[in-house]
Amino acid sequence: QKEVEQDPGPLSVPEGAIVSLNCTYSNSAFQYFMWYRQYSRKGPELLMYTYSSGNKEDGRFTAQVDKSSKYISLFIRDSQPSDSATYLCAMRAGGTSYGKLTFGQGTILTVHP
């Protein structure tokens, strides 16, 4: 079983929809959580970073972390065709894990006009 599970989709939504992307994890040592967006043939781009349970909002994006359930989410409001990409969740443990990120498989999102 993978340490981080992410539904690969694909997910197809109409423009303006609210999108919900989710990851579950099994390693209770994970303390830091990130969401990346990756366009085709590009490197991942950091969207959101959180380190505690609760919500964090940035523009149309909201990241949610529930450490008790080992579950994280990314919500995209008023989705746009330019949001079409692969979304990756990533996590890091504390202590000597330093820069090692563990990624989910990625969810492919398409927002159609």
Binding stretches for other proteins (CB under 8 A)? 32, 34, 36, 41-46, 49, 51, 88, 90, 92, 96-106
**Between 62 and 102, CB nearer to other proteins:** 102
DSSP state of 101: -
**Between 79 and 88, CB nearer to other proteins:** 88
Minimum CB–partner distance for residue 45 and other proteins (Å): 7
Residue 12, both tokens: 């197809």
Structural contact between residues 87 and 107, judged by C-beta atoms closer than 8 angstroms: yes
Minimum CB–partner distance for residue 97 and other proteins (Å): 7
**Between 18 and 46, CB nearer to other proteins:** 46
Structural contact between residues 90 and 36, judged by C-beta atoms closer than 8 angstroms: yes
**Between 59 and 100, CB nearer to other proteins:** 100
- Please tell me whether the peptide bond between 10 and the residue prior to it is cis, using omega within 30 degrees of 0: yes
- Residue 77, amino acid: R
Q: What are phi and psi of 88, to 5 degrees?
A: -120, 130
Minimum CB–partner distance for residue 15 and other proteins (Å): 27
